[in-house]
Structure 1
Amino acid sequence: MNEEQRSVLLKSSPNFPPPKGVRLSYGTAGFREDATILKSTVYRIGILAALRSIKTQSVIGLMITASHNRVSDNGVKIADPNGGMLSQFWEPFADSIANASDPHQLVLLIDDFVRKEEISFNGNRAAEVLLGRDTRPSGESLLDAAKEGISSIIGAVSHDMGIVTTPQLHWMVRARNMGLKSTEHDYFQQLLQSYRCLLDLIPDGNKTNKTDRLNDKVLVDGANGVGGDKLEIFSEICDGLLVEVRNSSKGEGILNELVGADFVQKEKVLPVGFGPNDAGKRCASFDGDADRLVYFLVQPGSSRIELVDGDKILSLFALFIKDQLSVIKDEGKAHNSYQARLGIVQTAYANGASTSFLKNLGLDVALTPTGVKFLHEKALEYDIGIYFEANGHGTILFSETVLTWLEDKNREYSSISKDSEEQKAVSRLLAVSKLINQAVGDALSGLLLVEAVLRHTGWSIQKWNELYTDLPSRQLKVKVVDRTSVVTANAETVAVQPAGIQDAIDAQTVKYRHGRCFIRPSGTEDVIRVYAEAATQEEADSLANSVAKIVDQFLGSGSCH
């Protein structure tokens, strides 16, 4: 950095002193904390975003959100040029500048990083950052801090995209860097056109008349956040979607309080605003920033729900895409040797019944360590890669190779077999590639794809939910002195340290029908997480408790819950 740049940073950074006695760490969700202590962090991540833009010569995104956290929290995270998460190689730099004790140390760290990364301030393109925030009251002042950080890098510019969902901002960054139109209007138009295309291609036998559709709307819990608001806007321009949004940010409810996908998935109880009159209806829930989606069924006479989670969403999408590929593949054997490779990516937390179901379909199922960054990276290895976590975060990735192949096939069929089943299958897959958000999990686009596939198959939510029956499971946390004592392998399914602990776990697991159990260290707190499955809930609970005791014996923990 030159002296002018150092001077600008030294002048602006004293306005954003770091909180005392707090150490922050950049993870999958970026930084998240109580909003009152985040101004310094957001200012500094604004600097990082500008530097990342210079380094990559691309547009970068900065989103202010704490997703499904309580309303008093907030956070900040970066969207890389492809719309994905910040490169893992830059996470240590994010940690170091967020925790710098004073302006001089901050500038020293930045200067050192700029030299190490060979970031040139004399490039042809100035830094450019897209900014977004959710509906949290703290968002506006934190956005101002981000702008200050960005502008403290000479020549850097920011564009405020307003109140948006996290997936919208990621989509905008990806589109901008692909040279495509990238406003919220463009986002809605792409969803609208691809969704309508899928509806137009529904088999005649499964098309419903207008009266039937009026009785088949989807009830959506918006978590009192931004996602419900955006869905309402979309439904106004899309006459092919009938929704009733409850718990929008315009109501009296509090963001994520007893509502939202995280609450519904973990607690398996009704969110506020839903009751006995909704029994049998198709219900869905977004989280606070709309990057998670789960469906559910209201149980008659009970506050409990039947959850249709991310594993079931993945299974629905996998079936649909596999069916379309099989039509194209069969026709193309004689003159086209290319066969798209479809892959499914899960973590060990995926219910064992879902994994068995997918493998029985003949699909390639891969496991990765817990974390979206691992799932996304693995999914990129396939022509079409589908990943979802049980919590409802996931998407479908289409390689450039498979998209080119589909476009070629579409032109071929248009000239020789227009409106054939083969061409319809190709058109459906192309529409899915535009409907689904390939940058990141997106509750809005995911909901549209679920609705389109259900219409295509003619299935009710009940029939969808009957694809397989989840094995009962139990998760526990065991407090330990040092979580790093546990080292795992094979996508966190095997504990290789401390010596002997996996043998003890295996000895317990074999006692239970359909038993499966693994342990892994938390990424954020000194606890070891225990996950267990078995044929009955009583057995799953017993297995989890037995393994928690093993962890306690090996690691000298304090308690489990």
Structure 2
Amino acid sequence: MNEDQRSLLLSSSSRFPPPQGVKLSYGTAGFRAGASILQSTVYRVGILAAIRALKTQSVIGLMITASHNKVSDNGVKVADPSGGMLSQDWEPFADTLANAPDPQQLVHLIAEFVENEKITLDGAKSVEILLARDTRPSGESLVEAAKHAFWELTGFGVDVDDKLVVDGANGVGGEKLELLKTMLTGLVIEIRNSGKEGAGVPNEGLGADYVQKEKVVPCNFGSQDVRIRCASLDGDADRLVYFIVPSGSSNKIELVNGDKILSLFAKFIKEQLSILSKEIDVNGNNDYQCRLGIVQTAYANGASMDYLKQLGLESLKAAEYDIGIYFEANGHGTILFSEHYLRWLETRTTELSDAVGDALSEVLLVEAILKHMGWSIQRWNEFYQDLPSRQLKASFLGHLSILWTVMDRTAVVTENAETVAVTTPGIQEAIDAVKYLRGRCFIRPLGTEDVIRVYAEASTQKCSRQLGKLCSGTRIPVSWVWNLLVINFLFQTKTDRIIILMRIYVDLQIFCYSCCHYGGLNA
């Protein structure tokens, strides 16, 4: 088992945790249980089936059914090349796989078994599995779990020659991509929401911003796109995100956002620079060391930052590097090349426009890299697993809502890439006091609305949600509230003052209630 397979199995198996307190045993009917607890088991049997196919060098069958059991049950079993049941010699291995308590133990069992059986996983791409299921409602999601196992172990996904489906957001990008695809060979692109002849409203229920924020399929995408590589532009084609439709039973997607686009570009360019450096060393001419760096915004997921650090890349200003890769999580970004580096490369030039937000050239670069590396979108998506995050809009901080509805958003001034609040004393201190595992939170004034945006991330979805709520309700000293209210009151019209006084009356009631029940604003 190579390191790529080990890493991807660790990552993907963590998405299919085994049920707590349940021990399963492989019998003549395979594994059977309530369908709600079988996803982990089916995923692991998918791994077993792929290994069995490698061992026998034959086609293996995998059937998802519970035969005559009630509809809420389901099961999974393996058929050997003869059409008969799985060899009894392999049943203990099936049991240990199904009951492995965590991803680390699972990968250890697989590595140990293939070594003892002298099975090489290098040829895993050539295995063939026949997959079938009955008509139970749970069958579809269980089939997806089995497919996920095949893809991770047998070459990380479907053939990279499959088509790319692009959501054009009914904007200029879809229209121009229609022209561009006629010039391409070796890449099949299907464009939906192209906005031809004014059809459809740009960015309404579709487009990169909608997909990135809502994490659901855009208009005209659905069950027909399960496991297919999909991308979404926005109306003016300056943003790009990719996504996977994991199941036809839900409109949820697996988002491959700007952070992962940046990671893909960084990994590829770093490897190419390493190859170039070795070639130069052989020729005895290595008088120039290229500096590669990345730039992310505060909204970049912490897991992506950790991944890029592992690649040895630092984040400063894109213009300070020979090659600087800049990307926002929302899919807005570019790659910059220094004039010095371009002169050094002489005849070598880039096909990527360095204008920030050239989504068409960026989608072509993504496709070229995936094709060159032989990677599927599934493998790309497994670079790292995003930390759960939460974005909120707060029109006030603390219990007195008039603090932020009377004041404009410019009362909050930030520094350090907009991650530290330096005005209105007490706010940043209150945020810093909230501690969660791998927790990170900041506030910043929104540029388009009179509200404050709160970003929070932590090790679990529950923690990120709690962190966001706590920080969007950050409490500050009462003395500061009244000082700010008096200052703002003096600059209001007579009518506005009456409205403010009425709101103060209401908020004082809230304040008194808070003091009685929660210990006041300084609790």
TM over 0.5: yes
Asked which structure has the greater RCO (Cα within 8 Å, sep 6+), the reply is: 1
CA distance in 1 between counterparts of 2:412 and 2:201 reads 38
Match of 2:188 in 1: 242
CA distance in 2 between counterparts of 1:354 and 1:537 reads 17
Match of 1:379 in 2: 318
Among candidates 380, 390, 413, match of residue 464 of structure 1: 380
- The aligned runs of 1:45-444 (5 Å cut-off) are 216-250=162-196, 252-300=199-247, 301-333=249-281, 334-366=284-316, 378-407=317-346, 430=349, 433-434=350-351, 436-444=352-360
- The aligned runs of 1:15-54 (5 Å cut-off) are none
Among candidates 360, 365, 389, match of residue 473 of structure 1: 389
CA distance in 1 between counterparts of 2:432 and 2:187 reads 49
Shift of 1:344: 0.3
- 1:313-341 deviations in whole A, cap 9, x for unaligned? 00000001101111122343543231111
Among candidates 492, 499, 517, match of residue 418 of structure 2: 492
SS at match of 1:315: helix
Shift of 1:439: 1.7
- 1:239-272 deviations in whole A, cap 9, x for unaligned? 2321000111127422211111111011111111
Letter in 2 for 1:470: D
Shift of 1:498: 1.8
Letter in 2 for 1:536: T
CA contact 2:439–2:456 (8 Å) conserved in 1: yes
Match of 2:81 in 1: none
Shift of 1:225: 1.4
- 1:126-174 deviations in whole A, cap 9, x for unaligned? xxxxxxxxxxxxxxxxxxxxxxxxxxxxxxxxxxxxxxxxxxxxxxxxx
CA distance in 2 between counterparts of 1:255 and 1:454 reads 29
Letter in 1 for 2:267: L
CA distance in 2 between counterparts of 1:532 and 1:551 reads 17
CA distance in 1 between counterparts of 2:412 and 2:159 reads 55
Match of 2:452 in 1: 528
Q: Sequence identity of aligned pairs in percent?
A: 63
Letter in 2 for 1:523: G
Match of 1:420 in 2: none
Of 230-239 and 305-314, deviating more is 230-239
Shift of 1:500: 2.5
CA distance in 2 between counterparts of 1:553 and 1:546 reads 16
Structure-2 change in CA distance of 1:527 and 1:551 (3 Å): farther
CA contact 1:297–1:306 (8 Å) conserved in 2: yes
- 1:425-483 deviations in whole A, cap 9, x for unaligned? xx6xx3xx22x111221111111000000001111000000000000001111112232
CA distance in 2 between counterparts of 1:352 and 1:542 reads 17
Paired residues, number: 314
Structure-2 change in CA distance of 1:244 and 1:551 (3 Å): farther
CA contact 2:426–2:477 (8 Å) conserved in 1: no
Gaps of 5+ in 1: 1-205, 367-377, 411-426
CA contact 1:471–1:534 (8 Å) conserved in 2: yes
CA distance in 2 between counterparts of 1:471 and 1:256 reads 27
Letter in 2 for 1:382: Y
CA distance in 2 between counterparts of 1:460 and 1:525 reads 39
Shift of 1:549: 0.8
Structure-2 change in CA distance of 1:500 and 1:234 (3 Å): same
CA distance in 2 between counterparts of 1:439 and 1:517 reads 31
Shift of 1:230: 0.8
SS at match of 1:289: coil
SS at match of 2:169: strand
Letter in 1 for 2:311: L
CA contact 2:427–2:476 (8 Å) conserved in 1: no
Shift of 1:524: 3.0
Match of 1:93 in 2: none
CA contact 2:169–2:193 (8 Å) conserved in 1: yes
Letter in 2 for 1:501: I
Aligned-residue CA RMSD (Å): 2.4
Match of 2:443 in 1: 519
SS at match of 1:513: coil
TM-score, normalised by the number of residues in structure 1: 0.53
CA distance in 1 between counterparts of 2:255 and 2:370 reads 17
SS at match of 2:170: strand
CA distance in 2 between counterparts of 1:255 and 1:361 reads 38
Letter in 2 for 1:520: R
SS at match of 1:347: coil
Among candidates 426, 432, 451, match of residue 506 of structure 1: 432
Letter in 2 for 1:307: L
Match of 2:473 in 1: 549
Structure-2 change in CA distance of 1:546 and 1:276 (3 Å): same
CA distance in 2 between counterparts of 1:337 and 1:503 reads 49
CA distance in 1 between counterparts of 2:477 and 2:450 reads 16
Letter in 2 for 1:487: V
CA contact 1:478–1:552 (8 Å) conserved in 2: no
Gaps of 5+ in 2: 1-154, 396-403, 486-502, 508-523
Shift of 1:520: 1.1
CA contact 1:294–1:391 (8 Å) conserved in 2: yes
CA distance in 2 between counterparts of 1:406 and 1:380 reads 18
Shift of 1:503: 1.7
- Which protein is bigger by CA-based radius of gyration? 2
CA contact 2:165–2:192 (8 Å) conserved in 1: yes
CA distance in 2 between counterparts of 1:551 and 1:275 reads 44
CA distance in 1 between counterparts of 2:219 and 2:377 reads 21
- 1:9-32 deviations in whole A, cap 9, x for unaligned? xxxxxxxxxxxxxxxxxxxxxxxx
CA distance in 1 between counterparts of 2:377 and 2:209 reads 20
Shift of 1:484: 2.2
Match of 2:367 in 1: 451
CA distance in 2 between counterparts of 1:364 and 1:212 reads 33
CA distance in 2 between counterparts of 1:362 and 1:551 reads 39
Match of 1:483 in 2: 409
SS at match of 2:182: helix
- 1:42-85 deviations in whole A, cap 9, x for unaligned? xxxxxxxxxxxxxxxxxxxxxxxxxxxxxxxxxxxxxxxxxxxx
